[in-house]
Structure 1
């Protein structure tokens, strides 16, 4: 026969184990829920129009002697400067670099230096303007100066957006908002709610020609086109409730 004085303690112990199990189960579910996160990628894109154009080129000549090369270069320069002036660029609006000169050597079939063949002289010149369409037109037209004896080798014009610092802040904020919206939709689709932001990482900015698919791990900074797209990406990690 079981003694009643043993039944009560065993009953209390059994009840305690049941309560402890419920408490542990509820705590485990809470911890499990709190440890669940979701990582989403948000992006934003904006079209920008360049507000600064830069045109660079090199005036170059070749002559039998260094003196002749220098004189020939000096003879061509006024024609080039006259052209710039006709387009609204004069004085300090034209950036003229130092003249460089070097000899050109001849070599025989054995690769041996047989002496100086000629001398080259060159001078780099560049201009910049907020009228990017003017810079574009000049880059196409200026090569025609060869008909007047001017050998000016023009580079591809460069186009910049000078307020890029302000745009960067706006576009990154828009990408972060896009990440939050994506996270909310995913959470809702699974019957959950998006919780607090745990971490966020900004990707490198991509500044590409409009409608381009260029991308780089180090970022793209296009200067070849007037109209560009700036793209920002944000990787965000949220808790889910």
Structure 2
């Protein structure tokens, strides 16, 4: 009989503990559900203050030395031209000379494949990074002046950058956080509740596009370099407790 009483007592105690644990679980579950998650947006428009531009020039000859001498003369002409346009010599970076053997492929009278030496092609690249955006931009648009000097020159589209992007990001983060908090406060107010402590904050990826463009945002972040004027944006997701 004593054994039955002890068994009943143990079962009753287990039942009471189970109820306590269940009540605590329900309480914690309800507490975790009393939250608000909101996303805020911060954006900023700015104009690039750094431009990067490059161009390639080349010479072809059956004599390697002849091609090299012609290319060296082209380099000197290009350098003098850029200096005349107000580009400092220390802003110009000339790459090493690239040498390629040209092979002409064909067939002979019997239909067999043939290969003949077509000479050497030597090419070189000149690059300019400058904070004088307007000057280099104008230079890139009037590159036919170099071609008119008798040089086979190919210009690449300029790329635009902003050296104070870190400051822009800091301001956008502050604006996005403020925007998200205001949204959370409005939701809580409309629900008759009060905003509690911040539980979690998650920052999105910075997206930089041309203003009023149709560029799509990417998962890893978009960074437009083709437009001088840019628009950056970032999102902040905040999760608050609600009392």
| TM tier, smaller | 0.7 to 0.9
| 1:29 Cα offset (Å) | 7.3
User: Which has the larger displacement, 61-70 or 172-181?
Assistant: 61-70
Q: 1:221 to 1:30 in 2, by over 3 A?
A: closer
Q: 1:112 to 1:205 in 2, by over 3 A?
A: farther
**Alignment match, 1:225:** 227
> Any residues of structure 2 matched to 1:143-162 within 5 Å, and which?
143-162=144-163
> Any residues of structure 2 matched to 1:84-163 within 5 Å, and which?
84-109=82-107, 112=113, 114-163=115-164
**SS at structure 1 position matched to 2:151:** coil
TM-score scaled by length of structure 1: 0.82
| 1:90 Cα offset (Å) | 3.5
Count of matched residue positions in the alignment of Structure 1 and Structure 2? 217
TM-score scaled by length of structure 2: 0.81
Alpha-carbon distance in 2 for matches of 1:157, 1:168: 24
**Alignment match, 1:240:** 242
Alpha-carbon distance in 2 for matches of 1:141, 1:183: 54
Q: Are the counterparts in 2 of residues 62 and 121 from structure 1 also a CA contact under 8 Å?
A: yes
Q: 1:239 to 1:201 in 2, by over 3 A?
A: same
Instruction: Give RMSD over aligned pairs.
Output: 2.3
**SS at structure 2 position matched to 1:204:** coil
**Alignment match, 2:73:** 75
> Any residues of structure 2 matched to 1:37-76 within 5 Å, and which?
37-76=35-74
Q: Are the counterparts in 1 of residues 52 and 159 from structure 2 also a CA contact under 8 Å?
A: yes
Gaps of 5+ in 1: 1-23
Gaps of 5+ in 2: 1-21
Alpha-carbon distance in 1 for matches of 2:114, 2:179: 65
